[in-house]
A and B are shown apart, each in its own frame.
Chain A
């Protein structure tokens, strides 16, 4: 849970999200490229934050990648990202 916890702390600090879901998918990639026996290599992150308002998808994802640069460089092999503003999130429901 260490990597997940570190990612959560960093994302909360950077984006003050109103919703943040981090799912560890590593078990689904066991034996694939980038997988490690100890897991915590593949994540799906959905983040809802007012900080994304007025930004396109590329800008939003770059901001998330920047916040998690250390994890991406050292440990995390894959990060599936959904970045939404509160309004976009509400519209999807």
Chain B
């Protein structure tokens, strides 16, 4: 089971917030092009999300990679489920799957 104390925090965070983006920097000032791209997609869709800056939190930076079994940042969670990183979010946005998934999960979007 999870022995990394960060795992409990992540579990709580993705339960308490419908949409969570683990990213480099903040939604206002992303520190990485890939994080910025996901922020842009979510903002374009009018999705409210919690941005979590992993750069200011080294234990979280390592912990989220183990938690998700995913070696890169950004990472998007919707309703507690791992959606993917930048490539997946972009692809799903382009095909309309992202909008559909958000709607199915009951997350409000502006363009719906």
Residues of B within 8 A of A (CB): 24, 31-32, 34, 69-72, 82-88, 91-92
Contact = CB atoms under 8 A, between A and B. Distances in A.
Interface size class of A (residues with CB under 8 A): 10 to 19
Given A57-B91, A82-B87, A62 B69 contact: yes
B88 A58 contact: yes
Contacts of A30: none
Nearest to A45: B87
B86 A69 contact: no
Given A33-B31, A33-B32, A58-B82, A79 B88 contact: no
A7 interface: no
A80 B86 CA distance: 8
A88 to B, nearest CB: 11
A41 B84 CA distance: 21
B69 A61 contact: no
Nearest to A73: B71
Contact of B70 (A33, A62, A73, A82): A62
Contacts of A80: 34, 86-87
A11 interface: no
Contact of A65 (B71, B83, B91): B71
Contacts of A82: 87, 91
A16 interface: no
Contacts of B86: 80
Contacts of A50: none
A80 B33 CA distance: 11
Interface string A15-28: 00000000000000
Nearest to A83: B87
